[in-house]
Chains A and B, each alone.
Chain A
């Protein structure tokens, strides 16, 4: 069955953080939405005929990072817990605050999970476990914690929390220690229980990564089983939220995915429980939370999502469009009987009969499987196809629109007054003009598959223009999705500009994605000036460091059999200093040095697949890589750093003769592949021309025939890898 969803916007709240919206359990006909925003407002509302009916709303306070439903074990989770700063508050579904618990942790809470009486709270590096508000376990993690959850308690009553860390590991915790680690393909950003309850064994967890991958893991008592993985082939945005809900109505829970580029994906599962892509919807703003439930109208399941600017909208199975009835259907007595029978079968079926016109007859019904059929049977001429139910809804939207317009006018008047006041105040000499900080959501992440950086900027209000300035050579790549008009300016490197580009956005663009290619060995800063389309015009700058080895990714599997070159630095420096040096060379590096005297990290180049191992301790840093150029970049950078800080370094190298040939061997098939691909594309045109002319292609050689047969395939491959050949040449 094809899934056909319609988007309805419900309301707008303040900016929202990821995972701050949930649906309360079904009580009555529709579910209520609980949402918390960055202004600190927690609210709970339901929808009735397209209008928001607020259950409760708190006063603004500190930015809320997470919202989670909780409740007594085995009972529906109907209590709302929110985390802001270092405090956790609990509200009942009526809005009564029953808990205000200050965790006293030194960091702001980034993620939180509630399971019965157990509360799990994570800051950037700290993991805390409270039972009935008593601290029972805590742990310091070596890298940033992105999300936390706890496996549902089984009979043995063991609590098994799982944390997702930036260093591409899921850590399964027992007490205050790590039970075991699971490597995942990208930095995990979100965790969710499979089928909402962890599957049959209560130990299945789905994760989403910042580079857009999703996977299912079965966490045993000491090791994990990888069930399936969804690769991010289309290079969509990173996963920000996940949920499981049966939207297709086939009795199997579907996977709902919200991404930071505004994409909502739905995956269904086939007989062998493997996921396949079912449906995609694009919102313009990044999705912060996604939930499945029944909200807008009874009987129609829908997907509710909240976006970064705080828009709450639903994707409903109910059709809002005016539908067409079967043409000129004469409703016979038999048909009437059939309809009566149908209405008896389906309890939630509704009948609407219009008596104004004797022959005008409309029936709407929805089968219990939430499919949401609306059928009109009419003997009326074709021009009068509109159903009553849909017209009523149109009315509601119309009212909503006129209300909005009125509101808008009032605000506009007010603004005009204020604007005048503001401009008059310009005459007053001693007053100052301040800039109100506007919120901006930016991301600058390395995309390993393409070996380029993705920069995304998102605002609450439309963007006017973005100015990109960089003091290193970088290349901007075209992104299909953005519609902004780009213009590059000539720039002089002596003024510290290697790239100056403006992106002028089309009206009502609130989000812009850019792809940037960096060159390893060249480092500096990238500055982004963002001007939104608000009055008075202001602009905000963001800076991003481009590190010398910008295209390296963290990895945990290291191939020790390669020929390695090594670089050893010795001198009078502390572990912290060494850490900060290495950190300034490589991306995805933790902020704080981990515990222990010697620290080892492994990296892989996303472009050349070469490895790098760096281990450092007090007074000594050792790098080992099979790529000689990586070593030389490191050497250049570290010597420059050391000279700046006036530290004497003793540098020794050990170069393996075989490494050069090894690298060349590694590169050779890639290069050959690319070259042959390029050649094939070149002759493809000519061959196509021949194909048009000659009926019989048998005189062509086998090679050529094959090329023609695989034409589409070849073209697609070529289109996927633009510039790759050029870049390979560059590296050589």
Chain B
């Protein structure tokens, strides 16, 4: 973790978090007595701050507008420290029970002050210079990355949040205005230009979004540690700079993803920042590696026809073109050979099995839902078959988010090859999946296979099976709302998002019962002629998913619902009680620790006294007691630790429930739920909380 800040006014200092719970600050321009900057000396001035807790994030910024220099903000698992380095004092110290996984700094929306925005487990908080909590909201999962971007070009910055549930959410203050689903944990976000921002995922993907649409993405086998934007080639447009875990740095064009510069470190990159580090006035790109190597890059001086790459670009182009030509020529040759082959009599097919297959060979795919059996959990079954006697040697599916890696292979035993193949797909989440299927078709024992490529779309709610005949027990929980759309439109939505054996025909009203294949819970979907929709399920999450998907499809901007989830509310109550219990227990534990430490102090003095007067026996006894007390202290500490982790997980649960409840609503009602819930929790008003979740307002 690396940041850069101007802690002493004009001159930047590089700040890094070390793995020994410390923060290291390197100031190349130490202000001399006459207040004139000296030229950069390589040794610089290094200072270290002891944090004594694992540093989870650092950030620097001019938090207090009355000061004309930057303040360092350090986030740990339990608190946030704003530290004034010039004065060597804490600006504030706030407990953040949700942790501080990511910090960013800037103005958010219409807030007056600069805020330090801290992302923790499911929650986001914004602090001003006095440490006051100005902003609070919840998100789907643990926050991993934050960025401030003017997403909709309205002059106000929006907060972009990347979380562990693979979602990028855009908050205009409290309200979510966009949501993009990615395929892995979002580890980094960085604003590039106006409404563009770069992102990096845990699986090695990096890319750029322009508003809610992705401009490009690429995937690499190592993963990106840090991303940044900097105009390295001085063309007026910033580039996306990526630091990889294998020590590579690459600079890519933000609109095409084309690499324009590369460099290599010997060890993984730790962070990338920019600042006028060696000479005032000129910003440089600064890259740090985990081994402590720091390299700076100046941007190019404006000059025509210069390129960053050492290699001759034209030569590269020629090579690329030659390769293209070669590929096309090969294809042409293939067709020509094909023609000459197909003019020959058919008998040759039997002479050379495998290299020839009938031209009319087609590969068909079919999706169906399979309930849970003893051998396998419930899954969506993809059946792939050819329409003649050719066999399928292997099938590779490239689809992100549903396998451990990015692909899954089925390669049957050589003596069990047939013309059809079944492939189970287990969908862990309610997200639509785009599967690229590559099927190797040929004959037995041949060395060449035809590759058929098929793209198959797996709908969002594929794991719910329609049970029209069987009576389904009605779940207790439901959401009820009215929409202004015809039943036909809803039918189309159902056809698109559920995996049905036959298409649903629209009637006057709808009454559908589904069974979730994941946990065998029922889901009822009803719509009557008064356009009232009732979704019956015990799972708050599922209800939220359906409401969101339906609202997006029908383009509903604002929607409030009546929700009734007795089970969820009961567990919420229990959770809040548990949090209270844990909190009070923590207080007693803290008191106990204070007692113990006092006792220890006095005992140490006593033991030392006995040693000085030579009373070995008493001294021995004293130290034994001390040892026992120390053991106690350690035990207490462990309890405290457990208590803390439990508290964190409980708070996360509470946050999650609020987030899920907000997902039942759309638009302004959604924001309303979050703010109202927050107020209720602050006042410890449980009944109000329940009411908000049920009705959407307090």
Contact = CB atoms under 8 A, between A and B. Distances in A.
Contacts of A487: 403-407
Interface string B318-354: 1111111111111111111111011000100100000
B449 interface: yes
Contact of B314 (A397, A419, A533): A397
A618 B355 CA distance: 42
A415 B304 contact: no
Contacts of B342: 425, 428, 431-434
B322 A434 contact: no
B263 to A, nearest CB: 16
B500 to A, nearest CB: 29
A537 B452 contact: yes
Contacts, number: 228
A300 to B, nearest CB: 15
B140 to A, nearest CB: 26
Interface string A429-467: 111111111100000000000000000000011100101
Nearest to A536: B334
B451 A433 contact: no
A461 B330 contact: yes
A15 B318 CA distance: 19
Q: Which of B20, B317, B331, B333 has the most CB of A within 10 A?
A: B331
B450 A538 contact: yes
Contacts of B204: 485
28 contacts: A7-B315, A9-B322, A322-B305, A405-B321, A407-B325, A408-B325, A412-B328, A421-B339, A428-B359, A434-B342, A437-B448, A438-B330, A461-B327, A465-B438, A467-B394, A483-B220, A483-B221, A496-B414, A502-B398, A508-B323, A531-B451, A534-B330, A536-B334, A536-B450, A539-B448, A539-B449, A540-B447, A541-B393
B686 interface: no
Nearest to A693: B48
Contacts of A419: 331, 335
A510 B19 CA distance: 41
B299 interface: no
B646 interface: no
Contacts of A334: none
A504 interface: yes
B438 A426 contact: no
B640 to A, nearest CB: 25
A398 B311 CA distance: 16
B507 interface: no
Nearest to A386: B305
B335 A504 contact: no
B411 interface: yes
A320 B335 CA distance: 40
A422 B408 CA distance: 31
Contacts of B335: 415, 418-419, 421-422
B112 interface: no
Contacts of B311: 7
A428 B339 CA distance: 12
A398 B404 CA distance: 47
Contacts of B440: 529, 539
Contact of A486 (B317, B328, B405): B405
B304 A404 contact: no
A393 to B, nearest CB: 10
A692 interface: yes
B323 A484 contact: no
B521 interface: no
A435 B451 CA distance: 10
A433 B358 contact: yes
B359 A495 contact: no
A129 to B, nearest CB: 37
B328 to A, nearest CB: 5
Interface in B385-426: 393-394, 396, 398, 403-409, 411-414, 416
Contacts of A145: none
Given A421-B335, A502-B409, A535-B331, A529 B449 contact: yes
B433 interface: no
Interface string B171-183: 0000000000000
Interface in A503-547: 504, 506, 508, 510, 529, 531, 533-542
Nearest to A502: B407
Contacts of A585: none
Contacts of A9: 315, 318-319, 322
B394 A529 contact: yes
Nearest to A495: B413
B325 A404 contact: yes
B409 A469 contact: yes
A582 to B, nearest CB: 26
Contact of B318 (A397, A435, A490): A397
Nearest to B415: A496
Given A9-B319, A534-B334, 4 more contacts: A401-B314, A428-B360, A433-B361, A537-B452
A685 interface: yes
A666 interface: no
Contacts of A692: 18, 24, 48
B364 interface: no
B396 A467 contact: yes
A383 B360 CA distance: 63
Contact of B332 (A320, A397, A415): A415
B323 A489 contact: no
A16 B537 CA distance: 67
Contacts of B448: 435, 437, 538-541
Nearest to A510: B323
B303 interface: yes
A92 to B, nearest CB: 30
Interface string B20-61: 100010000000000000000000000010000000000000
A714 interface: no
Nearest to A396: B314
Contacts of B19: 685, 689
A200 interface: no
A488 interface: yes
B321 to A, nearest CB: 4
A411 interface: yes
Contact of A490 (B349, B393, B404): B404
Contacts of B326: 12, 309, 460-461
Interface in B447-496: 447-453
A405 B403 CA distance: 41
A415 B360 contact: no
B409 A485 contact: no
Q: Which of B304, B349, B416, B440 has the most CB of A within 10 A?
A: B440
Given A467-B409, A489-B405, A539-B449, A432 B346 contact: yes
B321 A404 contact: yes
A394 interface: yes
A542 B447 CA distance: 7
B404 A488 contact: yes
B338 A434 contact: yes
B675 to A, nearest CB: 43
A437 B449 CA distance: 10
Nearest to A426: B359
A392 B283 CA distance: 37
A8 interface: yes
A185 to B, nearest CB: 30
A529 B408 CA distance: 15
Contacts of B18: 689, 692
B403 A489 contact: yes
